[in-house]
Amino acid sequence: MVAISAFRSTGCMDYVVNGIGYCFAQLGINTDFVPALPVGLMKTLSGGGARGLMVDVMQHYGADSFQGRLASIMQGSTETTFYVLAVYFGSVNIRKTRHALACGLIADLVGVIATIIIGYIFFH
């Protein structure tokens, strides 16, 4: 939690998210989804950190806003991949997690992309 807070308070999270937003803006894609991206990025690392970011998005934009709804969908459609690998695989002594990590991260990426697409279809 301390590392996540430091990453966020130093502005690194904003730098990454704004860079992603800039890339999509240059492609001519609507960037209304960008404020909700930190939730999707953080969810792979920490469920509590992602929940805190979701609350921040809702406080800043409103719970019924497009960004607030996207943050909520991201909270439910992605998984804490590294937590699952560390705790669940460790409890049953699975040592070779290379493919599980790749599959988990790909699933998180698909979850974030699907969230954005479904959010635009239903709420924008």
Instruction: Report pLDDT digits (tens) over 49-77.
Output: 889 889 999 999 999 999 999 999 999 88
How crowded is residue 72: how many other Cβ atoms within 10 Å of its Cβ? 18
CA 61 vs CA 1, 25, 35, 56, 106: distances in Å = 24, 20, 9, 8, 29
**pLDDT tens track for 81-113:** 888 888 888 888 887 877 888 998 999 999 999
Read off the pTM: 0.84
Residue type, 76: G
> What's the total number of domains in the chain?
1
User: Dmax over Cα atoms in the chain, in whole Å?
Assistant: 48
The domain of 106 spans 2-123
